[in-house]
């Protein structure tokens, strides 16, 4: 009996050590601070008064593949127009996103004009455009490579990772639930000036991936 107790004690100690060391390595974070966002923080990458951004874009959704050009234009402060056309020039959708919850479908081809699809795209684009943000207050922290802003919404948390070396946004991540499960992740790479040349948006719980590469700005 004592032998068994001893063993279980050792086992649980090992487990505890393992768990803590895991937790420790995961949150190598210094100086967490909760505060309101400053006016120059978490600014959309696509905020621009000098024309539109054109991305060659491929959408993979449940085995269906769709490709074309995604045009992003900042029309007024905090207002964006997103138009997706096929390579051949057929327009598939034309959305407008604004401050707070403003969202307007100017056009959508019948085959895509379903509430589920449109809401999904709307939420992805809101995240990508950082417009609107889900909170005006953030928990700001640092790890060895990034400054991280965590914004808490009603059900989800959005985290924005800015690289320490060049100050560029490298990742946006949405998590949910007590275990902080990842829902969506957007990776920004190969910056040309202030704009990422490559963007990868990946859903973890549904089969949806959007891959974008910059054609011109």
Partner 1 sequence: MLLIKKFGFILSLIFGLTTIAFSQHPGFGPLTDSVSFKNNLSKTAKETKTIQSDFVQEKNLSVLAEKIITKGSFMFKKDNMLRWQYTDPFQYLIIMNKNKVYIKDDSRENKYDMQSNKMFQEINNMIVNSVQGNVLNSKDYKIKYYQNEKYYLVDLTPLNKNMKGFLKSISLYFDKKDFTVSKLTMTEPSGDYTNIAFTNKKVNAEIPDEKFHIK
Residue 162 near residue 45, CB atoms below 8 Å: no
Minimal distance, residue 70 CB to partner 1, in Å: 11
Tell me if 117 contacts partner 1 by CB under 8 A: no
Rounded-to-integer distance, Cα 40 and Cα 80, Å: 19
Residue closer to partner 1 by CB (options 57, 174) is 57
Q: DSSP for 37-71? A: PPTTSS--TT--SS--EEEEEEEEETTEEEEEEEE
**Count of residues binding partner 1 (CB under 8 A)?**
27
- Kindly state whether residue 62 participates in binding partner 1, applying the rule CB under 8 A: no
Calpha distance 89→187 (Å, rounded)? 27
Is 175 an interacting residue with respect to partner 1 (CB under 8 A)? no
- Positive or negative, the CA dihedral 80, 198, 216, 84 is negative
Site mask, partner 1, residues 19-58, x = CB under 8 A? --------------------------------xx-x-x-x
The answer to whether 97 touches 154, Cβ cutoff 8 Å, is: no
**Contact letters for partner 1, residues 71-100 (x by CB under 8 A):** x-x-x-----x-x-x-xxxxx--x------
CB of 211 to partner 1, least distance (A): 7
Distance of CA 162 to the CA centre of its chain: 12
Q: Which residues lie near partner 1 (CB under 8 A)?
A: 51-52, 54, 56, 58, 65, 67, 69, 71, 73, 75, 81, 83, 85, 87-91, 94, 106-107, 109-110, 211, 215-216
């Amino acid at each position: 009996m004592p032998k068994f107790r001893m063993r279980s004690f050792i086992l649980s100690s090992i487990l505890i050590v393992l768990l803590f060391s895991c937790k420790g390595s995961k949150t190598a974070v210094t100086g967490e601070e909760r505060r309101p966002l400053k006016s120059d923080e978490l600014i959309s990458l696509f905020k621009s008064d000098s024309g539109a951004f054109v991305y060659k874009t491929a959408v993979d959704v449940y085995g269906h593949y769709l490709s074309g050009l995604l045009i992003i234009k900042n029309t007024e402060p905090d207002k964006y127009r997103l138009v997706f056309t096929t390579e051949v020039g057929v327009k598939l959708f034309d959305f407008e996103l604004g401050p707070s919850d403003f969202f307007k479908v100017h056009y959508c081809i019948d085959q895509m004009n379903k509430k589920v699809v449109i809401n999904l795209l709307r939420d992805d684009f809101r995240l990508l455009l950082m417009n609107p943000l889900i909170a005006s207050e953030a928990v700001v922290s640092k790890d060895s490579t990034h400054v991280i802003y965590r914004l808490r919404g009603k059900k989800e948390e959005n985290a924005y990772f800015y690289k320490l070396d060049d100050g560029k946004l490298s990742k946006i991540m949405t998590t949910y639930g007590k275990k902080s499960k990842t829902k969506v992740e957007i990776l920004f790479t190969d910056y040309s000036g202030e704009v990422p040349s490559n963007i990868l948006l990946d859903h973890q719980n549904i089969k949806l991936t959007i891959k974008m590469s910059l054609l011109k700005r």
